[in-house]
Amino acid sequence: MNSLAGKVAIVTGSGRGIGREIALELAKQGAKVVINYVHSEAGAMQLIAELHDQGLPSIAVKANLTHVDEINRLVNKAIEAFGRIDILVNNAAVDPTEDFFDVTESFWETVVHTNLKGTFFCAQACAKEMCKTGSGRIINISSVHGQATMPRYAVYASTKGGINALTRQLAIDLAKHNITVNSVAPGAIEVEKFFGQPWYKPEEIGSYIPMGRIGKPSDIAPMVAFLASEKASFITGQVITIDGGSTAKLYLPIEV
């Protein structure tokens, strides 16, 4: 029997990259999946078609998670389609880089509103629905930048550190409702947007990682599925790093 049979999952930012792989894994484990996207409509529609071809129920909802009214619409669409919400994966994020002294208010707001505000209010909206059924799983996708970072990531690292703190706080606040809250913190993971970038040299990057390679989205998705399952019912408030050992090293000389 699939470990997530009968469960309903929202995966934000799941039209491509890590989010896509997570949504696919949850669906294969039996969950009914709500695919969320803003810009990657083609990817979201392709994933929906792939899931439907396999007989896996899913819907796609376009929603900009920097706006609370759109978050609420996303949640309402999930309820209309599937009647409940059991799992939220807060994956949607942006990761632009900028020198600390060149960060503008606009740059700050773009990153913080997407990464931290969106995560907070998606968790709030979904937790309200989870409370109605007496259980739930919230998995936030953080980053190694919340623990150890590099030049030009001041704003991004701030949001990921904030997500780690939020994870611990919500784990305490929601435990009485039988809702677990955990973070998964990926390291260097190969995603489509890196392809063609002049700095993206996977062999070189991999040489700095103890496991000798850059990660794949498929390295992240199984952990998310595990945390969403009943097997993880006593795990909450944790930040689980998946980085091939990068943050265990004293020195990682990569600058993009």
Task: Decide if 19 contacts 11 (C-beta within 8 A).
Answer: yes
Cα–Cα dist 16/41, whole Å: 9
Residue burial 29-64, b: 16+ Cβ < 10 Å; e: rest: bbbbbbbbbbebeebbeebbeebeeeebebbbbbbb
Strand order in the sheet with 8-11: 58-62, 32-37, 8-11, 87-90, 136-141, 179-186, 239-242
The DSSP secondary structure of 104-149, one letter per residue, reads -HHHHHHHHIIIIIHHHHHHHHHHHHHHHHT-EEEEEE--GGGTS-
- 8 Å CB contact between 188 and 246: yes
In this structure, are residues 87 and 36 in contact, taking their beta carbons and an 8 Å threshold? no
Catalytic residues: 156
Beta-ladder partners of 59: 34
4: three-class secondary structure by DSSP: coil
Is 122 within 8 Å of 65 (Cβ atoms)?
A: yes
Residues 6+ apart with CB under 8 A from 59: 34, 35, 48, 77, 78, 81, 82
